[in-house]
Protein backbone atom coordinates (compact mmCIF):
# COMPACT_ATOMS: atom_id res chain seq x y z
CA UNK A 1 0.00 0.00 0.00
CA UNK A 2 1.60 3.33 -1.04
CA UNK A 3 2.33 5.81 1.74
CA UNK A 4 4.31 8.91 2.69
CA UNK A 5 5.19 10.81 5.86
CA UNK A 6 4.34 14.43 6.59
CA UNK A 7 7.12 15.98 8.70
CA UNK A 8 8.36 19.38 9.81
CA UNK A 9 12.14 19.29 9.97
CA UNK A 10 14.73 22.03 10.05
CA UNK A 11 17.79 21.84 7.81
CA UNK A 12 20.34 22.42 10.59
CA UNK A 13 23.28 22.64 8.20
CA UNK A 14 21.65 25.63 6.50
CA UNK A 15 20.83 27.20 9.87
CA UNK A 16 24.50 26.85 10.89
CA UNK A 17 25.59 28.40 7.61
CA UNK A 18 23.18 31.30 8.14
CA UNK A 19 24.51 31.77 11.70
CA UNK A 20 28.07 31.93 10.41
CA UNK A 21 27.05 34.53 7.83
CA UNK A 22 25.26 36.59 10.49
CA UNK A 23 28.30 36.48 12.79
CA UNK A 24 30.49 37.65 9.95
CA UNK A 25 28.12 40.48 9.04
CA UNK A 26 27.77 41.61 12.67
CA UNK A 27 31.57 41.79 12.93
CA UNK A 28 31.97 43.76 9.68
CA UNK A 29 29.07 46.21 9.55
CA UNK A 30 29.72 49.72 10.78
CA UNK A 31 26.36 50.13 12.53
CA UNK A 32 27.16 47.10 14.73
CA UNK A 33 30.61 48.37 15.70
CA UNK A 34 31.09 48.60 19.49
CA UNK A 35 27.56 47.32 20.20
CA UNK A 36 28.63 43.90 21.46
CA UNK A 37 26.19 42.31 19.02
CA UNK A 38 26.58 38.54 18.94
CA UNK A 39 24.53 35.48 18.01
CA UNK A 40 25.07 31.94 19.20
CA UNK A 41 23.37 28.56 19.11
CA UNK A 42 22.42 27.04 22.46
CA UNK A 43 20.31 24.07 23.50
CA UNK A 44 17.28 26.36 23.99
CA UNK A 45 17.63 27.89 20.52
CA UNK A 46 19.44 30.88 19.05
CA UNK A 47 20.47 33.73 21.36
CA UNK A 48 21.15 37.28 20.18
CA UNK A 49 22.89 39.70 22.54
CA UNK A 50 23.72 43.38 22.10
CA UNK A 51 24.00 46.56 24.16
CA UNK A 52 20.58 47.94 23.14
CA UNK A 53 17.19 46.56 22.25
CA UNK A 54 17.34 48.24 18.84
CA UNK A 55 20.62 46.49 17.98
CA UNK A 56 19.09 43.14 19.01
CA UNK A 57 16.16 43.75 16.66
CA UNK A 58 18.52 44.78 13.85
CA UNK A 59 20.59 41.61 14.37
CA UNK A 60 17.37 39.57 14.29
CA UNK A 61 16.46 41.19 10.95
CA UNK A 62 19.89 40.19 9.61
CA UNK A 63 19.27 36.61 10.84
CA UNK A 64 15.85 36.45 9.13
CA UNK A 65 17.38 37.74 5.89
CA UNK A 66 20.13 35.10 5.96
CA UNK A 67 17.68 32.28 6.78
CA UNK A 68 15.44 33.24 3.86
CA UNK A 69 18.40 33.37 1.48
CA UNK A 70 19.37 29.86 2.61
CA UNK A 71 15.79 28.57 2.03
CA UNK A 72 15.02 27.97 5.72
CA UNK A 73 11.38 28.82 6.38
CA UNK A 74 10.70 31.53 8.94
CA UNK A 75 7.83 29.36 10.20
CA UNK A 76 10.46 27.31 12.04
CA UNK A 77 11.55 30.19 14.27
CA UNK A 78 9.68 31.53 17.29
CA UNK A 79 11.25 34.79 18.51
CA UNK A 80 10.76 35.71 22.16
CA UNK A 81 10.79 39.31 23.38
CA UNK A 82 14.14 40.98 24.05
CA UNK A 83 14.97 41.05 27.76
CA UNK A 84 17.58 43.00 29.74
CA UNK A 85 20.40 40.54 30.43
CA UNK A 86 22.34 42.33 33.12
CA UNK A 87 24.66 45.25 32.89
CA UNK A 88 23.81 47.25 29.80
CA UNK A 89 23.05 44.30 27.53
CA UNK A 90 19.89 42.90 26.04
CA UNK A 91 19.21 39.28 25.12
CA UNK A 92 16.67 37.70 22.79
CA UNK A 93 15.96 33.98 22.56
CA UNK A 94 14.76 32.59 19.24
CA UNK A 95 13.31 29.11 19.62
CA UNK A 96 13.52 26.75 16.66
CA UNK A 97 10.36 24.68 16.15
CA UNK A 98 10.79 21.21 14.73
CA UNK A 99 8.31 18.36 14.44
CA UNK A 100 4.53 18.33 14.31
CA UNK A 101 2.86 18.53 17.71
CA UNK A 102 -0.41 16.76 18.48
CA UNK A 103 -2.68 19.78 17.84
CA UNK A 104 -1.27 20.50 14.40
CA UNK A 105 -1.23 16.78 13.56
CA UNK A 106 -4.95 16.67 14.36
CA UNK A 107 -5.52 19.64 12.01
CA UNK A 108 -3.65 17.80 9.24
CA UNK A 109 -5.65 14.61 9.81
CA UNK A 110 -8.95 16.52 9.95
CA UNK A 111 -8.12 18.27 6.67
CA UNK A 112 -7.30 14.93 5.02
CA UNK A 113 -10.49 13.30 6.28
CA UNK A 114 -12.60 16.33 5.36
CA UNK A 115 -11.31 16.28 1.78
CA UNK A 116 -13.03 12.92 1.03
CA UNK A 117 -9.85 11.62 -0.65
CA UNK A 118 -9.63 7.88 -0.11
CA UNK A 119 -6.56 7.82 2.14
CA UNK A 120 -5.89 7.11 5.79
CA UNK A 121 -3.81 9.34 8.06
CA UNK A 122 -2.28 8.40 11.39
CA UNK A 123 -0.02 10.12 13.92
CA UNK A 124 3.40 8.53 14.55
CA UNK A 125 5.46 10.49 17.13
CA UNK A 126 6.09 13.88 15.47
CA UNK A 127 5.07 12.79 11.96
CA UNK A 128 1.80 12.00 10.19
CA UNK A 129 1.74 8.92 7.95
CA UNK A 130 -0.68 9.01 5.04
CA UNK A 131 -1.46 5.80 3.14
CA UNK A 132 -3.85 5.02 0.32
CA UNK A 133 -4.57 2.53 -2.44
CA UNK A 134 -3.17 4.45 -5.37
CA UNK A 135 -0.50 7.04 -6.05
CA UNK A 136 -2.90 9.64 -7.47
CA UNK A 137 -4.78 9.88 -4.17
CA UNK A 138 -1.52 10.43 -2.32
CA UNK A 139 -0.45 13.14 -4.75
CA UNK A 140 -3.84 14.83 -4.37
CA UNK A 141 -3.35 14.70 -0.59
CA UNK A 142 0.08 16.35 -0.90
CA UNK A 143 -1.47 19.12 -3.03
CA UNK A 144 -4.21 19.58 -0.41
CA UNK A 145 -1.71 19.80 2.46
CA UNK A 146 0.46 22.31 0.60
CA UNK A 147 -2.58 24.55 0.32
CA UNK A 148 -3.31 24.48 4.06
CA UNK A 149 -2.57 27.59 6.10
CA UNK A 150 -0.58 26.19 9.02
CA UNK A 151 2.00 28.00 11.11
CA UNK A 152 4.54 25.24 10.48
CA UNK A 153 6.46 24.25 7.37
CA UNK A 154 5.51 20.79 6.05
CA UNK A 155 7.76 18.42 4.12
CA UNK A 156 6.80 15.12 2.55
CA UNK A 157 9.18 12.17 2.91
CA UNK A 158 9.40 8.41 2.45
CA UNK A 159 7.05 8.23 -0.53
CA UNK A 160 6.72 4.47 -0.98
CA UNK A 161 4.92 2.45 -3.61
Each residue's pLDDT tens digit in the chain (161 positions)?
888 998 999 999 999 999 999 999 999 989 888 888 899 999 999 999 999 889 999 999 999 999 999 999 999 999 999 888 888 899 999 999 888 888 888 988 988 888 888 989 889 888 899 998 888 888 989 999 888 888 888 888 887 87
The answer to whether the beta carbons of residues 135 and 58 sit under 8 Å apart is no
Contacts 24+ apart (CB under 8 A), 140-146: 140/115, 141/112, 141/115, 141/117, 142/4, 144/111, 144/112, 144/115, 144/117, 145/6, 145/108, 145/111, 145/112
**Domain membership of residue 116 as a residue range:** 3-8+99-160
pLDDT tens figures, 12-51: 999 999 999 999 999 998 988 888 889 999 999 999 999 9
Statement to judge: residues 28 and 86 lie in one domain: yes
d(CA 160, CA 39): 40
CATH number at residue 47: 3.30.70.990
Statement to judge: residues 89 and 103 lie in one domain: no
Statement to judge: residues 80 and 156 lie in one domain: no
Q: Is the pTM of this model over 0.75?
A: yes
Amino acid sequence: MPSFDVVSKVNWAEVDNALNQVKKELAQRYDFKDTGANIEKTKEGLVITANSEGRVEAAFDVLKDKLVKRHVSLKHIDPQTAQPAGGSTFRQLIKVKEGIDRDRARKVIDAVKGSKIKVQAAIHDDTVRVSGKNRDDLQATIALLRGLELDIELQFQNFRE
